[in-house]
Amino acid sequence: MAAGIPLLDLGNQRLKLARSTGPGQVDLIASVRLQELQAEQGVQWLSDELRRFDGPALVCSTRPELLQAWQAESRLADLLLVLQKEQLPLDVRTTGTGMDRLLASLAAWRLSNGAVLVADLGTAWTLDATTAQGAFLGGAIGLGLGMQDRALQEACPHLDLAADQPCSGIPMNTSDAVAEGSRTALALALDALGWAYEQDLEGGAQRYLCGGDARTIAPWMSADWTYADHLVLQGMAWVAHDIGR
């Protein structure tokens, strides 16, 4: 049997499989596009991977229809343990919040030992606030960078793709202009929202940046933000520790 507790982060576009190696500590095993798991061999691969462990995998999902299909699959039904917000040591004061947002905030809160802001950039971007006492207050949701890029290319295919790095001063070419309208605009919005949310966090918070597009936007972000690679999985590892798994 493989060591550790299996963890599954089922996102909008990708599945991450990891194992917990301690409180808040993870070892990433695989990151797979969901399209590759739709076929029969994908289900068999996941079943084979999870049966290497002694016990079911903890699951965080933003894809309920796919999760339900997996739960109905005989090869996976006994291998999945879906996390519930009641298992988290947070005072969740919101309704309808996705488990991925809660887990990322839990991990950041445990890392900082204080108030935190977590910007998660994926299919959608989110910015969430948690107090130093562990009260999850919620936050904002917007269209992710990848979706913005695709929408702009579809509507205006003659435009250049966004530049990879920030320009100096006012953009003077189309590539920099597109980056200014998406990357710079979002970075400034996150900074401004962060400042506004800090007014409800007793004056300050440590800021974390995560998600699939985090590295893309990182050059445009201020130095106030700390990049964290796998906050959702780290949050799951904390829950696994807390519930004695």
Q: Flag whether pLDDT at 40 surpasses 80.
A: no
The sign of the CA dihedral 96, 133, 226, 29 is negative
pLDDT digits (tens, 9 = 90+) for 110-126: 999 999 999 999 999 99
Q: Give me 3's structure tokens.
A: 């060591």
Choosing from 9, 100, 128, 213, the catalytic residue is 100
Chain segment 172-208, per-residue pLDDT in tens: 999 999 999 999 999 999 999 999 999 999 778 999 9
| Residue ranges covered by each domain of the chain | 5-82, 88-236
pLDDT tens-digit readout, 202-245? 778 999 999 999 999 999 999 999 999 899 999 999 999 888 76
Cα separation, 67 vs 52, whole angstroms = 20
Average pLDDT of the residues in 84-112: 96
Backbone angles phi, psi at 191, to 5 degrees: -65, -45
d(CA 204, CA 34): 38
Distance of CA 114 to the CA centre of its chain: 20
The rounded distance, in Å, linking the Cα atoms of 209 and 231 is 9
Do 4 and 27 touch, CB atoms closer than 8 A?
Answer: yes
Residue 97, classed as helix, strand or coil, is coil
SS3 content of the chain, % helix, strand, coil (to 5): 40, 25, 35
Q: Which residues contact 119 (CB under 8 A, 6 or more apart)?
A: 125, 126, 127, 190, 194, 207, 208, 209, 210, 211, 214, 225
Band (157; pLDDT cuts 50, 70, 90): very high
Fold match, 5-82 / 88-236: yes
Who's near 212: CB < 8 A, 6+ residues apart? 11, 13, 14, 121, 122, 146
Task: Give every CB contact of residue 20 below 8 A, 6+ residues apart in sequence.
Answer: 4, 5, 7, 26, 236, 237, 240, 241, 245
Is residue 38 over pLDDT 80? no
Q: What is the band of 106 on the pLDDT scale with cuts at 50, 70, 90?
A: very high
CA distance 124 to 190: 13
* % of the chain beyond a pLDDT of 90: 87
In the chain, what percentage of residues exceed pLDDT 70?
Answer: 99
CATH topology of domain 5-82: Nucleotidyltransferase; domain 5 (3.30.420)
CA atoms within 13 A on the CB side of 111: 25
Beta carbons of 85 and 130 less than 8 angstroms apart? no
- Which of 187, 189, 244 lies closest to 218 in space, CA to CA? 187
Residue 242 is a catalytic residue:
no
Q: Which residue type, as a one-letter code, is found at position 238?
A: W
| Span 88-236 CATH architecture | 2-Layer Sandwich (3.30)
